[in-house]
């Protein structure tokens, strides 16, 4: 099941993102469920993340989101998990 995780950063949280980036990338590598990922941008500013998870169900997506080092560090203002269907690409 593909799930789009759309996370919006808290205002002024760039340093939190930078401080936890290596742990976040290691988590992505070790869990092996991220199909695609990247920051959401407003001009040159990072304002959040879009991550496509390939997981068994929504509960697995929620567990992954809850254990992301960015989430544990309090980076996000909001996190939405939405079932997604790949059509192109």
- For the stretch 49-86, pLDDT in tens is 999 999 999 999 999 999 999 999 999 999 999 999 99
**Could you tell me which of 5, 7, 26 has the C-alpha nearest to residue 75?**
7
What whole-number distance in Å separates Cα of residue 81 and Cα of residue 62?
Answer: 7
Inter-residue contact 25 to 32 (CB < 8 Å):
no
pTM for this one?
0.93
Helices (H), the chain: 14-31, 58-67, 69-72
Average pLDDT, the chain: 96
Q: What domains appear along the chain, each with residue ranges and CATH number? A: 2-83 (3.30.70.1060)
């Amino acid at each position: 099941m593909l799930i789009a995780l759309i996370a919006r950063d808290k205002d002024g949280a760039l340093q939190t993102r930078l401080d936890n980036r290596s742990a976040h990338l290691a988590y992505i590598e070790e869990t092996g469920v991220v199909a695609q990922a990247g920051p959401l941008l407003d001009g040159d500013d990072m304002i959040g993340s879009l991550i496509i998870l390939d997981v068994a169900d929504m509960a697995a997506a929620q567990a992954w989101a809850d254990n992301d080092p960015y989430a544990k560090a309090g980076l996000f203002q909001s996190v939405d998990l939405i079932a997604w269907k790949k059509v192109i690409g």
